[in-house]
A and B are shown apart, each in its own frame.
Chain A
Amino acid sequence: MTNRHHLAKMFKKLLLGGGLLLGSLVATAADKVVVMTSYPQEMISQFEAAFEKDFPQYRLEVLWKQSNDAFSYLSQHPGEVDVYWTPSRQNFSRLAKQGLLQKLDPVWIHAPASLHGTLLNDPQGFYAATEIAGLGMVIAPTALDKAKLRQPQDWQDLTNPALQGMIAFPLPTKVGFAAGLIDAMLRGKSWTDGWAMLSKIVLNARFIDNGATFITDEVVAGRATVGITMDFFAASTIAKGAPLQYVYPPIVAYSPAHVAIMQEAPHQAAAEAFAQFTLSPSGQQLLFAPDIRKLPVDPSAYAHKPQGYFTPYAAPALKDEHVRDVAEQNILNAFFEANLVKHQALLQSLFVNITFARHLKRDPDKINDIERQLLQPLLAEPALFTAEHLAAFQAAQPSERESLTKQWGELAKARYQAAANALQALLVNQ
């Protein structure tokens, strides 16, 4: 391993040395590397400039595809793309299963296998994590201070009724980066306690169904005081002077992004150079740039981090580091939406009336019972994550999962109806 690493370093030095010696050595049409990605322009521009500087003999050509399009394009156009580099574990996993990726040289990889339960590199070696993004909270400290509200530090703090309407919450079924959010919120708690907490957060949430920077915009513009968003969205806004803070709760949902070389890469040497570059100290350091602000996967990169930069490897280990896989997260997110999000307005009304009933000093046992019912999950944990449900959520056709979510929605509606009736009896008939 050491020898291979040494050889790889020598190879890079030779490439670089050759570039410097020849002076005017620049890329020709044959010396390009075609990279498919869905990264934003700012990140591409930084990597393009730095890669070009380190490897002047190669020209970076980007084929930009959303993750939804990328898989079919890559499988239908072998021999067109050299490198796939993007945040989409699902695509990498599918491409590897179909034999469309090459194995990476393990000497390039400096990241550990996992981070607090989140798998980073492919155990088979077909793709490697290049960066990590964390999902936490962006807050407006001044607005919170003026409203005399404590700054939230944990997901549990978002249940504070004083935050009603002030939490910009990305819909996990619609906003890609929030796919692991509900799983992270529930982690470390019992299923029932976790669900009760989620229900109370929903009472306060303003759901946002388009992602990217919109959550941060909500907080910058003062329409929310807390926004649940990826660290890099908020960090670049903060780095540019916005008076916001980013809070990493004790349980962060981490999303790794990966790099892989296509099996039929038409520009093999250039492909290797680019993939290696993303994992190299140069590539990892670029992630600290104010326009990027991602978390390097190489722990040694943090030795040169900007002041105050979050280090995920320094966060204490958790007692529950089991992260659900993508299929289970999809079930959980659909269940969350059908059960709570779709009925948010009604839930809010019910809780207003529970407060009202307490104000009128109605039977506390009955009130508590209604409240307990409302905060309970519709299904026990084992009944949700069944083989049948997993199959429905992994199927190509949406009909089965649509039917399931409809069914869950109706169950929820019936429960809320029953609670409404019970509250009516309590308020009107006594």
Chain B
Amino acid sequence: MHYKRYWLTSKTMVTFGMRLLLCWLFSQVAMAQEATIPHPPRTADAYTYPIASLTDTAALNTFQAGRTLFRQVWTLHGSEDSRFNGLGPLYNRFSCVACHPGNGRGFAPDGPHQSMKAMLVRLGTPGPQNTSLPHPVYGDQLNEFAAPGVASEGMAQIDYEPLTVTFADGEKILLRRPKLSFRDLAYGPLDAVQTSARIAPAVFGLGWLENISEEDILRQAQRRKPAGIGGRPNRVWDIAQQKVVIGKFGWKANVPNLRQQIASAFHGDLSITSSLFPHENCSAQQAACLAQTRKSPELSDQQLDDIQFYLSMLAVPPPALVTPEITRGSALFKQVQCIECHTDQLHSGPNLAALKQQRLSPYTDLLLHDMGEALADQRPDFIATGREWRTPPLWGIGLAKAVHANAGFLHDGRARTLQEAILWHDGEAATAKERFLHLNKEERAALIRFLESL
């Protein structure tokens, strides 16, 4: 304070100082203008940028706080930095980015010699009226790791059998059909269990999807489509609202909103409790796990807010510059009927100022579709049957391999390429697949090029 008083005693000094300050401020403003965060470039970190309109400093700070939590390696109880405590006792991975590398998609092991690094196995037992209930011992997800003193539940492994598909022009392609098994099960056998192996999805653009209104989704369900194609929303339980709503997130649209999706992943994958999931995921038979439970919630509401904000504000990369081949591929995408479910005609609703009332091209209708027997997991999820899956969004999918070279496609990562993914389509997509099989080589390449441009 003494210094402050002194500096104000000389008027000339202040004037001169102000000039210097103005020059400095001017240079800072000029720098800041150049520094406007660019729209995501189509590079390996394309999924990590905030939406272009997020320029407010406080909002960017929240975005960074959420990003820290998303990238953070969470620790078992007893660590000095208690902000990131709470991992386990039973868990799959110890950070969000382990399964969402670069905010992108997960991947499947290439065989039984590899462990699951960015995917998990959901479990269930048949319940009344074609529902699925958590396994009485292992719960609804196999946790492959455990804190010291607790036995991990076991390991899932995937083997593949080859499946050859032949195009109308004679070209053949080799697909791989996954076969799941378990070993080292610590809590007894997993007989007659329903299983669903799932890779982690990409996490950008989720704010937009959340902001699509139920009315818009219902309009998609009611829209007239070619014969054989239907589509219906899943109806799921919203924990916070304590009511049934339309599901938007998850491979079977089995989660109502982003907040619940985040809390569910923290709970299921890292065993970190929150206000939405306040109990550790230990079953009554897992005594050592129960003995290590700690005060709940381990993830505070503030932390949940920050991660939710971060994921809401992750921008969608812009499509690549259009070429004649991409234009041709886009036309074929419609002609083959892919567009019927992977629709580019949705609108964001009135929520979240930065994301509201905009036309969206997510290439999803957020509806459940019967995808045929080959893709079925036979594990119902709310009203979704074992054959039904939510149409996954395709925006940004062309960068999946740039973000992570091993990125897999379809719910269990069995498809190593976009073409393989198309060839696994069946059920309501049988006609689309059949039309794709009858395209010539150049047409198939153009359609794939279009997808890669997204």
Contacts and interface: CB of A to CB of B under 8 A. Distances in A.
Contacts of A386: none
A16 B87 CA distance: 34
A122 interface: no
Interface stretch (B12-20, B273-281, B345-353): B12-20
A217 interface: yes
A26 B31 contact: no
Contact of B78 (A59, A69, A217): A69
Contacts of B80: 66, 68-69
Contacts of A319: none
B75 A64 contact: yes
Interface stretch (A169-177, A403-411, A420-428): A420-428
A244 B60 CA distance: 21
A427 B13 contact: yes
A65 B79 contact: yes
B73 A41 contact: yes
Interface string A9-50: 000000000000000111011000000001011101100110
Nearest to B57: A223
A258 to B, nearest CB: 19
A66 B81 contact: yes
B98 A222 contact: no
Contacts of B373: none
Contacts of B95: 41
Interface string B3-22: 10011011001001100100
A256 interface: no
Contact of B115 (A52, A64, A77, A241): A52
A380 B183 CA distance: 66
A42 B97 contact: yes
A69 B79 contact: yes
A21 B44 CA distance: 37
Which of A49, A64, A69 has most chain B Cβ within 10 Å? A64
A143 B34 contact: yes
A73 to B, nearest CB: 8
A49 B27 CA distance: 47
A240 interface: yes
A24 B113 contact: yes
B45 A240 contact: yes
A285 to B, nearest CB: 16
A41 B97 contact: yes
B32 A352 contact: no
Contacts of B112: 24, 26
Interface string A57-85: 00101111110110001000100100000
Nearest to A356: B16
A26 B113 CA distance: 6
Contacts of B78: 69, 73
B145 A420 contact: no
Given A77-B148, A241-B45, A420-B6, A41 B13 contact: no
A239 B78 CA distance: 36
Contacts of A268: none
Interface stretch (B35-43, B119-127, B188-196, B374-382): B35-43
Q: Which interface class (under 10, 10 to 19, 20 to 34, 35 or more) fits B?
A: 35 or more
Given A45-B117, A63-B148, A222 B75 contact: no
B301 interface: no
Interface string A352-363: 110110010000
Nearest to A428: B10
Interface string B80-95: 1100000100000011
A428 B9 contact: yes
A356 B94 CA distance: 56
A356 B31 contact: no
Given A241-B44, A427-B13, A223 B35 contact: yes
B98 A221 contact: no
B71 A40 contact: yes
B24 interface: yes
B327 interface: no
A356 to B, nearest CB: 5
Contacts of A53: 114
Nearest to B111: A24
B44 A64 contact: no
Contacts of A97: none
Contact of B16 (A56, A61, A349, A359): A359
B41 A225 contact: no
Given A63-B148, A356-B16, A222 B73 contact: no
A65 B43 contact: no
Contact of B20 (A40, A65, A352): A352
A66 B113 contact: no
Nearest to B186: A29
A240 to B, nearest CB: 4
A346 interface: yes
A391 interface: no
A381 to B, nearest CB: 29
A347 B121 CA distance: 60
B64 interface: yes
A237 B44 CA distance: 10
For B3, B16, B87, the residue with the greatest tally of chain A CB atoms inside 10 Å of its CB is B3
B73 A346 contact: no
A125 interface: no
Contacts of B24: 164-165
B16 A225 contact: no
A56 B9 contact: no
B6 A48 contact: no
A380 B101 CA distance: 50
Nearest to B20: A352
A326 interface: no
B184 interface: yes
A356 B71 contact: no
A142 B35 CA distance: 11
Interface in A75-107: 77, 80
B28 interface: yes
B259 to A, nearest CB: 23
Contacts of A212: 68
A290 B44 contact: yes
A349 B81 contact: no
Interface in A332-376: 346, 349, 352-353, 355-356, 359
A41 B71 contact: yes
Given A147-B31, A221-B35, 4 more contacts: A40-B73, A59-B115, A63-B148, A355-B20
29 contacts: A26-B183, A29-B184, A40-B71, A41-B95, A41-B97, A45-B98, A59-B115, A62-B94, A63-B148, A64-B73, A64-B87, A65-B75, A66-B79, A69-B75, A73-B78, A142-B34, A143-B34, A147-B27, A147-B30, A165-B24, A221-B35, A221-B37, A222-B31, A222-B35, A240-B44, A346-B3, A417-B2, A417-B3, A427-B10
Interface of A: 24-26, 28-29, 38, 40-42, 44-45, 48-49, 52-53, 56, 59, 61-66, 68-69, 73, 77, 80, 142-143, 146-147, 164-166, 212, 214, 217, 221-223, 225, 237, 239-242, 290, 346, 349, 352-353, 355-356, 359, 417, 420, 424, 427-428
